[in-house]
Structure 1
Amino acid sequence: MAQPYCLATVSAAMAALLATVPASAGAAPRFEDFPVSAVHRGATARPLLADAQSRNYATQLRHAAAGKADFAGRYVLATWGCGASCTMSAAIDAKTGAVSWLPFTVCCRDADVDAPLDYKLTSRLLIVHGARNEQGGGTHYYQFDGKRFAEIPTP
């Protein structure tokens, strides 16, 4: 006849099983999960004003390009206000001057959040805090591939 399982034995078995699940499973993306292969340390190229949106915001893009790369290895993340608590942004390739636009504005972040966008020179991850195009809210994660910002699904 089979012996009944003791609660302590079952608990120990469950703890051992859970210990094998990666700690990051289901966790929010982290900067170190999206490393860059190299970092540009030179001057930033003049922004290419290749589209109407870039020409409309030429002053903001040129002002940002006066700085050094600060995002995804070789990009300057240009940000500026577009109204009450609203932010627009574009990534300027420091080597070529190509401009890649964040496809939405960001506003209405929580009071305990310092900035609408979190990013690092050594990572392709962009963390967005607030409403995108004044819709919804919360925290959203994007991976930048050098041309586009692709949303990373989170649980």
Structure 2
Amino acid sequence: MNRLFTPFLMLLVCFVGRSYADEDVPRFDDFPVKDVFKGKPAKVKIVSPKDREFSTRLHELSGQKPNFAGHYTLTSWGCGSSCIQTVAIDAKTGNVVWLPFTVCCWDVDVNEPIEFKRSSSPIVVHGSRNEAGGGVYYYRLEASKFILLKAIEKPAP
């Protein structure tokens, strides 16, 4: 009986450990884009007060090839020490979509605080949003808005 129980117990421990480690998080492959833009990118549209504040930067980005969600150019730039702000420009329309917060304070082992793919609509944000909290946040660009899919908060020290 003991010979059968030990392997079963080890298998159970491995399964429980694996299910905890593989927490159900959105994956890029779960959200493929159907529409990949290949034409000439539209000129950026400066509409909002924030767009006007960063119009020089947005004009510099205008016309670049899409690198996110099929037809968006997504980019970030510094807004202070270990702080970035992020924007997506629609290559089809020129419309601007801002990530509604700045990102800062990501862990030292994180190479890119914002992860994304051209062929998929989610982004993965590592760090703090507007200098509050911290963790890993999964957003998806839907109807010109970044919608939170899942948040995995970092435990408080």
State the TM-score, normalized to the length of structure 2: 0.81
Aligned to 1:138: 135
Aligned to 2:103: 106
Aligned to 2:30: 33
| Cα distance in 2, alignment partners of residues 100 and 108 from structure 1 | 23
Greater gyration radius: 1
Superposed displacement of residue 43, structure 1: 2.3
Could you tell me which of 64, 69, 72 is aligned with 1:72? 69
Task: Structure 2: give runs of 5+ residues left out of the alignment.
Answer: 153-157
CA contact (8 A) 1:26 1:154 kept: no
Aligned to 2:119: 122
The amino acid that maps onto 2:145 is R
Task: Structure 1: give runs of 5+ residues left out of the alignment.
Answer: 1-6
| Cα distance in 2, alignment partners of residues 90 and 39 from structure 1 | 19
The amino acid that maps onto 1:131 is S
1:40-83 CA-to-partner distances (Å, cap 9, x unmatched) read 12222111111111011111111122421000000001311111
Aligned to 2:44: 47
Query: SS of the counterpart of 2:80?
Result: coil
Q: Give the strand-richer structure, 1 or 2.
A: 2
| Cα distance in 2, alignment partners of residues 110 and 59 from structure 1 | 31
* RMSD, aligned α-carbons: 2.6
| Cα distance in 1, alignment partners of residues 84 and 103 from structure 2 | 5
State the TM-score, normalized to the length of structure 1: 0.82
Query: SS of the counterpart of 1:141?
Result: strand
Query: SS of the counterpart of 2:140?
Result: strand
Query: SS of the counterpart of 1:45?
Result: coil
Identity in percent: 43
Query: SS of the counterpart of 1:153?
Result: strand
| Cα distance in 2, alignment partners of residues 86 and 60 from structure 1 | 17
| Cα distance in 2, alignment partners of residues 72 and 59 from structure 1 | 24
Count of aligned pairs between the two proteins: 145
